[in-house]
Amino acid sequence: MTSRAPLKIDIWSDIACPWCYIGKRNLEKGLAETAGDDDAPRVEIEYHSFELSPDTPVDFEGSSAEFLAERKGIGIDEARAMNERVAQIAEGAGLHYRFDLQQHTNTVKAHELIHFAKAHGKQLEMKERLLSAYFVEGRHVGRIDELVAMAEEVGLDPVAARDALESDAYLDAVRADQAQAQAYGINGVPFFVIDGKYGVSGAQPPEAFAQVARQVWAEKQA
């Protein structure tokens, strides 16, 4: 059998998307389920930028529920109930969301940092760090000082990270990801493109990701 190239999974997501972190965990669990297969898929994952609310200010004045109520045009109690439901689903994925600590912000700089990290071989680590910071730790992921600190936490050069963020060095890469999403017709995240052929929308359960990984890996057999 000819050696197969790894299974490529391209993921469009936003740091401020609660379902994106849940989807990330479910994908990881699904791929872990396939690891013991006789012909286990070899997988390469790449994240791509998507901004759910590009008009969000860097420093949003208000709580997570207030942001949700304002954005969706709903009452504050309904917004709190929505957050509570998402938090319960996140717990099922092993994530302890703290909407009471959350600091809503513009995510474009976080996306630029993920591209910087990708250029230095740390994209997956940076993505995880930012999602945890935003949803679990209540850290501010829109301010350059905070982003530089998190870059250093995953082993990146803080001086180079700051220079990249202050100069908008990776803004074009963010915009290119967004243009590709538009070309694909992606209007919500998370969105997974499996081997450039199959689209999977939303935070599917782990078994669904395991199934599609096995199916597409089998199709790659020479």
Contact 211, 217 (CB under 8 A): no
Q: How far apart (Å, rounded) are the C-alpha atoms in residues 56 and 75?
A: 19
pLDDT at 117: 98
Evaluate whether residue 1 is within a structural domain.
no
11 three-class SS: strand
Q: How far apart (Å, rounded) are the C-alpha atoms in residues 171 and 173?
A: 5
Q: How far apart (Å, rounded) are the C-alpha atoms in residues 93 and 23?
A: 9
CATH number at residue 73: 3.40.30.10
Per-residue pLDDT of the chain (222 residues; tens, 9 = 90+): 457 899 999 999 999 999 999 999 999 999 999 999 999 999 999 999 999 999 999 999 999 999 999 999 999 999 999 999 999 999 999 999 999 999 999 999 999 999 999 999 999 999 999 999 999 999 999 999 999 999 999 999 999 999 999 999 999 999 999 999 999 999 999 999 999 999 999 999 999 999 999 999 999 875
Q: How far apart (Å, rounded) are the C-alpha atoms in residues 174 and 151?
A: 17
Evaluate whether residue 183 is within a structural domain.
yes
DSSP bridge pairs for 13: 49
Instruction: Give residue 74's domain range.
Output: 7-219
DSSP bridge pairs for 9: 45, 194
Evaluate whether residue 2 is within a structural domain.
no
The answer to whether the bond into 18 is cis (omega within 30° of 0) is no
- Say how many domains are in the chain: 1
Contact 192, 174 (CB under 8 A): no
